Amino acid sequence: MKLFIDSNYLSPYAMSAFVALREKRVAFEVALVDLERAEHLAPHYAALSTTLRVPTLSDGAFHLSESSAICEYLEDRYPGTALYPSDPQHKAKAREIQAWLRSDLMPIRSERPTEVVFLKQSRPPLSDSARTASAKLFAAAQALLPAGSQSLFGAWSIADTDLALMLNRLVLAGDEVPERLAAYARMQWQRPSVQEWVTMPKSTNP
């Protein structure tokens, strides 16, 4: 098993796949892809990744890109910690959350990139569009997270890690975040599999 990730360990999607593998306790190697040098466009990588993106998982002769697809594959293929709730409706909702976080809220992702999360880089105040996106994120997260709960569905799922990362783009930048959501994001950040990724050496110039 091999997981291809960005060489500076800043991709939130690579992090999601990495955490999933750790939670499944599957032995795997990490292979670094230098995006700045366009190694993801090289023929040898194109033979593995149809999307030419990270992360990509190689499981023997089987290759799979896109982090949510990787998580679903690992859930179906391997035992270990459940990545998704067992209840079909909760499972569908967890997948909805993953898809939403990957396709929406672009002003937050643009103005609070993962350099803020992992390298503690400071950024200027949020624009009006980013504040609007933040309000949308807060409203959705507060509706999804049961009062008094430390997880979305009663037990950890990979959707918790993904949501915590989006919230921590704001929390770690010092932006105003509802305390209930900030506490949730901080707590989720302490999960050992997440901390392993967070504490890896990172650089914007690998």
Do 101 and 185 fall into the same domain? yes
- Provide mean pLDDT across the span 129-152: 97
Do 8 and 102 fall into the same domain? no
Q: What DSSP letter does each residue of 1-62 carry, written as one string?
A: -EEEEETTS--HHHHHHHHHHHHHT---EEEEE-TTTTGGGSHHHHTT-SS--S-EEEETTE
| Number of compact structural domains in the chain | 2
Instruction: Quick: pLDDT tens for 46-73.
Output: 899 999 999 999 999 999 999 999 999 9
Q: Are 206 and 36 in contact (CB under 8 A)?
A: yes
Identify the domain boundary among 61, 81, 101: 81
Q: How far apart are CA 10 and CA 118, in angstroms?
A: 7
Q: How far apart are CA 108 and CA 126, in angstroms?
A: 8
Identify the domain boundary among 26, 55, 81: 81
**pLDDT category, 204, cuts 50, 70, 90?**
low
Do 47 and 135 fall into the same domain? no
pLDDT for residue 136 is more than 70: yes
Task: Give the tokens for residue 118.
Answer: 């992992």
Q: Which parts of 78-173 fold into alpha helices (H)?
A: 88-103, 106-111, 114-118, 128-144, 158-171
Identify the domain boundary among 81, 107, 141: 81
Average pLDDT across the chain, whole number: 95
**Structural domain of 18:** 2-81
Do 119 and 160 fall into the same domain? yes
Would you state the pLDDT for residue 202? Answer: 77
Residue type, 36: E
Q: Supply the CATH number for residue 103's domain.
A: 1.20.1050.10
Do 180 and 114 fall into the same domain? yes
